[in-house]
């Protein structure tokens, strides 16, 4: 009897190892059904989780509900800045915490579709991953091998690779859809003449957050995949993970291009000038859960594990940035103390975040949290673990 019991335990142990640590209990929700887990079963303190929810309400994003007004106010220093894509008034704070894929805590209107701003960049990275997995591009390739319409000509721009655009280290110089690279988030010092005539940095050596160059990446991907990027995202990721059908991804009024004789909109990588992804908290949580499981949903690998590893590896010019994902490397200026160093997250204007902590089996989505309080918010959730 003792031998039989020991043998049964051995079989269960081998099964656990073969499934991977932490994977055996990971739950994936069906399209219209998402199971919850009790705080006791997950090992959390209910009162402290409640305090995290209260914190998000009491530290709401300070900008206007009218996001068009908030955008213009935040980027008023930018010359020629205009809103060229759709916007929508924002909702109130909302959030969801997943533990092993199940809902541990949620608050606010998690079904409401809101602008996501630069959270969109991490979705764009996923679409690039799909192209990579299909051998449509190699990250070390120069863009002038793919795009020959003038955007990557010249001594400087011809050096730029896919990886440079993904890590925001290209220092690409030019204009696309009426937007000039130097006019996007200009330096605090100088004026238009200084910004236009600046000395260019060698691609791959200098990080600069710049939406114009992200829109160039989106345009380049469209020319390589040759299908609307929202369609690629829907078919390859959002439908397989059971997302709703009410999310949208927009570009600008003047970002329509000819793709194989068909008029297609080149979508934006954020809402800096309007557009970008409009999505619910619930759908963001599904996306985060996919990435927490290395791109695998149930038994289907939607994005390769290799791409996710590449995406979440610190880049040389910025240790806190990968392929359009923010990282928590101790080597960078954006390091959050007392938060796991392996955490990675999508971040958007107005305090929109998808936070992934694979070590603690957590996916956290929070909307309209004043950005400077993100570290404090995560630490409250950590403190709630018994």
pLDDT in tens, 314-362: 999 999 999 999 999 999 899 999 999 999 999 999 999 999 999 999 9
Is residue 377 assigned to a domain? no
Inside any domain, residue 304: yes
The answer to whether residue 370 is domain-embedded is no
In a domain, 374, yes or no: no
The dihedral over CA atoms of 214, 216, 219, 221, expressed in degrees to the nearest 10, equals -70
Report d(CA 196, CA 181) in Å as an integer: 9
Query: In degrees, to the nearest 5, what angle opens at C-alpha 130 toward C-alphas 124 and 132?
Result: 105
pLDDT over 90, % of the chain: 92
CB-count exposure of residue 299 (10 Å: 0-12, 13-18, 19+): exposed
- What values do phi and psi take at 51, rounded to 5? -70, -30
Asked whether residue 291 is domain-assigned, the answer is: yes
Output DSSP code: residue 272.
Answer: B
| Number of domains the chain contains | 1
Tell whether 73 is covered by a domain.
yes
pLDDT over threshold 90, residue 24: no
CATH of the domain at 164: 3.40.710.10
Query: What does the pLDDT look like over 204-255, one tens digit per residue?
Result: 999 999 999 999 999 999 999 999 999 999 999 999 999 999 999 999 999 9
Structure confidence at residue 25 (pLDDT): 79
Full residue range of the structural domain in which residue 300 is found: 47-363
Query: Given pLDDT bands bounded at 50, 70 and 90, which one contains residue 7?
Result: very low
On whether residue 357 sits in a domain, the answer given is yes
Give the CA angle between residues 321, 205, 349 to the nearest 5°: 35
What is the per-residue pLDDT for 15? 41
Q: Is residue 4 part of a domain?
A: no
Averaged pLDDT, 133-162? 97
Q: Report d(CA 280, CA 288) in Å as an integer.
A: 13
């Amino acid at each position: 009897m003792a031998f039989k019991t020991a043998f049964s335990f051995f079989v269960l142990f081998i099964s656990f190892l073969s499934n991977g640590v932490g994977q055996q209990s990971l739950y994936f929700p069906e399209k219209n059904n998402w199971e919850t887990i009790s705080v006791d079963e997950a090992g959390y303190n209910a009162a402290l989780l409640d305090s995290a929810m209260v914190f998000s309400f009491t530290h709401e994003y300070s900008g206007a509900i009218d996001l068009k007004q908030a955008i213009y106010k935040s980027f008023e220093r930018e010359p020629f800045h205009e809103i060229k894509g759709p916007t929508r008034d924002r909702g109130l704070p909302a959030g969801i915490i997943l533990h092993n894929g199940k809902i541990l805590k949620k608050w606010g209107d998690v079904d409401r579709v809101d602008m996501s701003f630069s959270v969109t960049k991490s979705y764009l990275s996923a679409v690039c991953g799909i192209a990579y997995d299909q051998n449509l591009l190699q990250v070390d390739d120069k863009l002038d091998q793919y795009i020959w319409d003038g955007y990557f000509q010249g001594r400087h721009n011809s050096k730029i690779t896919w990886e440079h655009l993904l890590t925001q280290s290209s220092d690409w110089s030019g204009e696309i859809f009426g937007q000039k690279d130097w006019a996007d988030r200009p330096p605090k010092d100088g004026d238009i003449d200084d910004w236009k005539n600046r000395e260019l940095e060698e691609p791959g050596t200098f990080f600069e957050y710049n939406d114009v160059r992200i829109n160039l990446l989106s345009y380049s991907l469209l020319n390589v995949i040759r299908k609307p990027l929202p369609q690629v995202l829907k078919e390859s990721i959002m439908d397989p993970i059971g997302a709703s059908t009410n999310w949208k991804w927009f570009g600008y009024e003047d970002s329509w291009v000819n793709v194989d004789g068909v008029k297609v909109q080149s979508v934006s990588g954020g809402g800096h000038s309007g557009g970008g992804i409009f999505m619910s908290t619930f759908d963001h949580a599904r996306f985060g859960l996919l990435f927490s499981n290395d791109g695998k949903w149930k038994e289907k690998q939607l994005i390769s594990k290799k791409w996710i590893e590449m995406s979440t590896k610190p880049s040389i010019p910025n240790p806190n940035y990968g392929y359009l994902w923010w990282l928590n490397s101790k080597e960078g200026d954006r390091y959050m103390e007392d938060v796991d160093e392996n955490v990675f997250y999508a971040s958007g204007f107005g305090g929109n975040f998808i936070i992934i902590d694979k070590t603690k089996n957590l996916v956290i989505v929070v909307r309209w949290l004043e950005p400077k309080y993100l570290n404090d918010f995560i630490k409250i959730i950590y403190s709630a673990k018994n």
